[in-house]
Structure 1
Amino acid sequence: MKFFKKFINTITLIFIMSSKSFAMPDMTNAFHNVSFLNTKSETIKLNEYEDKILLVFFGYTHCPDICPSTLIDITKSLRELGDDAVEVQPVFISVDYLRDTPERLQKYMEFFDSRIIALTSSENDLKKISKNFRTTFELVNPSSSNYLVEHSSNLYIIDKGLIVKRIVANGLPSSEITKTVKKLLN
């Protein structure tokens, strides 16, 4: 199963990279134009972290599988980076604008590395930032209290110039994140 997952991820990446119209997104405008609330209910914009390498992941706190495993991979990567981790800012952006309040995000993030910041925003701003990242999300049957959110599972590694340098597919080991960050630091 693990081999099959890696095979599919590799084929998908080859297909995307071979497309003539594919270019890594420039996030400069997106980071200046979208506001978020952090776990302390403070308004921030991602350009406040433009002096860091960003690890950006979209998810939600009620996610049963992909989100916790990705946040664990980010935590492992921060440990693998050692002292270099000060140059990195991991960001978890919740796409569940109905349930994921700053308070809910605060409680959820207690299970992961404290250096990962968690953010939420309005539906409109989340749609804007998702479009810039070329990603999607959709609340499935939000009238139910136990609804799911369909979302992409990629981790975006963004350099200090706010250019996406790598999109890491779900399921790749934390060492892939670490390797990319180290390349950007050198």
Structure 2
Amino acid sequence: MSNRRRFAAMTVALALIVGAGAIGYATFLRMPQAPAAGSLGAVFTLTDDRGQPITEKALSGHPSLVYFGYTHCPDVCPTTLYDMAGWLKTLEPEADRLRAYFFSVDPERDTPEIMHSYSGNFTDRITGITGDPSEMQKAIKGWRIYAKKVPTPDGGYTMDHTASVLLVDAGGNLRGTIAYQENTDVALRKIRNLLQQE
């Protein structure tokens, strides 16, 4: 192969690598990212899965696992709730003072009854939270959660949303996150660290 052809081939290969990298980076930027640790939250009045009023005060006084998802979710949400149930079980009895909340990013469809039935499939330790969509938006925005309705070809919709579990301390502050399908040992270590921050 001549030097000219070799140079041309290398140029094309380099262009392909740079192009692939740019596409990958753009895709990464579009992925729902977990919020950064710090003082987040919002004032809200919603409804728990037993039909009782619940406010932001529920996230104070004890450490909490907080997850935003929805019951029509095909894979990420059931997987995450299954993981949460497993963490709570594994960490007994030290996790007895830990609360777990499942906020619906689809309150239009997720009634308290549906949330209760859905969460109950995994554990009775996770409290489902739904309510007026405008109130839920306060919680979503306050915790910097990404949630977007995505139309489907059949006329329905699905929800694109942040997939991380938030680690909230007894003061109501975000201390970190657990990524979707994070290694179990790493997740448990993060929760133990949260429990030690009381």
Q: Which amino acid aligns with 2:39?
A: D
Identify the match of residue 138 of structure 1 among 129, 132, 148.
148
The amino acid across from 1:83 in the alignment is P
Equivalent residue for 1:162? Answer: 172
RMSD: 2.5
State the alpha-carbon separation in 1 of the partners of residues 103 and 53 from structure 2.
Answer: 13
Which of the numbers 96, 113, 133 marks the counterpart of 1:103?
Answer: 113
Q: Find out whether 1:26 has 2:45 as its counterpart.
A: no
CA deviation profile, 1:59-92 (whole Å, cap 9, x unmatched): 0001000000000111111112110111110100
**How many Å separate the matches in 1 of 2:91 and 2:127?**
18
| Whole-angstrom distance in 2 between the partners of 1:40 and 1:145 | 31
1:149 Cα deviation from its structure 2 partner: 1.0
How far did 1:185 drift?
2.6
Which structure has the bigger radius of gyration? 2
- Gap change, CA 1:23 and 1:40, over 3 Å in 2: closer
Q: Distance in 2 between matches of 1:39 and 1:49?
A: 16
Matching of residue 91 in structure 1 with residue 104 in structure 2: no
TM-score by length of 2: 0.75
Q: 2:137 aligns with which of 127, 131, 152?
A: 127
Which of 177, 181, 186 lines up with 2:191 in the alignment?
181
- Structure 2 equivalent of residue 68 of structure 1: 78
Contact 2:148–2:160 (Cα < 8 Å) also in 1: yes
Give aligned-pair identity as a percent: 28
Calculate the TM-score normalised by the size of structure 1.
0.80
Q: What residue in structure 2 maps to residue 52 of structure 1? A: 62
Structure 2, unaligned stretches of length 5 or more? 1-24
d(CA) in 2 for partners of 1:23, 1:98: 28
Matched, 1:171 2:181: yes
Q: Which residue of 2 aligns with 1:4?
A: none
Q: Mark the CA change 1:94 to 1:23 in structure 2 (over 3 Å): closer, same or farther.
A: closer
Task: Identify the residue that residue 14 of structure 2 maps to in structure 1.
Answer: none
User: Do the aligned partners of residues 61 and 144 (structure 1) sit closer, same or farther apart at CA in structure 2, a change above 3 Å counting?
Assistant: same
Give the whole-Å Cα distance in 1 for the aligned partners of 2:152 and 2:48. 23
User: How far apart, CA to CA, are the structure 1 residues paired with 2:84 and 2:161?
Assistant: 18
SS, match of residue 82 in structure 1: coil
Q: 1:105 is paired with a residue of what secondary structure?
A: helix
